[in-house]
Amino acid sequence: MALEGPIAVFADLLQFVGAFVAFSIAYVSLRGLRETESPTLLRLATAFVFLAFGFVVQGLVGLGTEAIIPGIAAFATTMLISGLLLETTGYFFLAFSHVMDVAMSKKMGLALMVFPIVTVSGVQVSDILRFLSFYFIMYGVVETLYSYGKTHRPDTLIIAAGMVLIALGGLVEWLSILESTLIALPLVQILMKEIGLLILFIPVLKFTFGRKEIWDGAI
């Protein structure tokens, strides 16, 4: 059961809050990129720009479905898939930043990238994209926790905590699809993802303003 009425509108507005947070992280990352020319910050900026636009599109779809913004409902399915694709791409850049570093250093570490390419015939495109988003962010969680086990840096643990919340938000999103009677779950998953983004904002700020080692080797 989808959210309806004021609760649905509130959930849609939360998507724009998430977009604001993501755009803010992207802006801070771009500022740091101009000063440091760090490829890590470039990937972070790219990730959060995709995430921000994904949140915006999904928020617009929700408001269009509620007839608050006219003319969108007719294109709701296409826009929803576009928004999920943007969000999935953002999670790819975020979670696989570490894998890109590994690949450039000619070490092993790309094997798990093959896993999402499985037979999914008969499954809706939106479900495929949600699955990929969850997989990408979970891979990022595993890599980040592995890095914390080697370095024991508190900031790496903060990154892992933010990614865990985003991953749990994705899991709750799947539960909201399977268990449609729990109407609060869609709202909970949005809140969890946005809290996760806010947690990730902390190490991004520290990275940008002079502590480059936080993200290097973290993800």
Q: Enter the tokens of residue 200.
A: 């990730």
pLDDT of residue 56: 94
Asked if 42 and 219 touch (Cβ cutoff 8 Å), the reply is no
Question: By the 8 A CB rule, do 40 and 216 touch?
Answer: yes
* pLDDT at residue 180, as a whole number: 67
Cα separation, 39 vs 208, in Å, equals 12
A 10 A CB-CB count for 71 gives: 7
62: number of Cβ within 10 Å: 26
Question: Max alpha carbon distance in the chain (Å)?
Answer: 53
- Give, for all 219 residues of the chain, the pLDDT tens digit: 455 667 778 888 888 998 998 999 888 888 878 877 777 778 888 999 999 999 999 989 888 877 677 778 778 888 888 999 999 999 888 877 655 554 554 444 444 444 444 444 445 788 888 888 888 888 888 877 877 787 788 877 888 898 899 989 888 887 877 776 667 788 888 889 989 999 988 887 776 665 555 555 454
- Could you give the domains of the chain? 5-214 (1.20.1070)
* pTM attached to this predicted model: 0.78
User: Which three-class secondary structure state does DSSP give residue 68?
Assistant: coil
Instruction: Give exposure, 101-130, as e/b (b: 16+ Cβ within 10 Å).
Output: beeeeeeeeeeeeeebeeeeeeeeeeebbb
pLDDT digits (tens, 9 = 90+) for 55-76: 999 989 888 877 677 778 778 8
pLDDT given at position 101: 53
Distance CA 6, CA 133 (A): 28
What pLDDT was estimated at residue 109?
45
**Angle between helix 185-208 and helix 154-178 axes, rounded to 10 deg:** 160
Secondary structure element (H or E) that encloses residue 90, with its range: helix 76-95
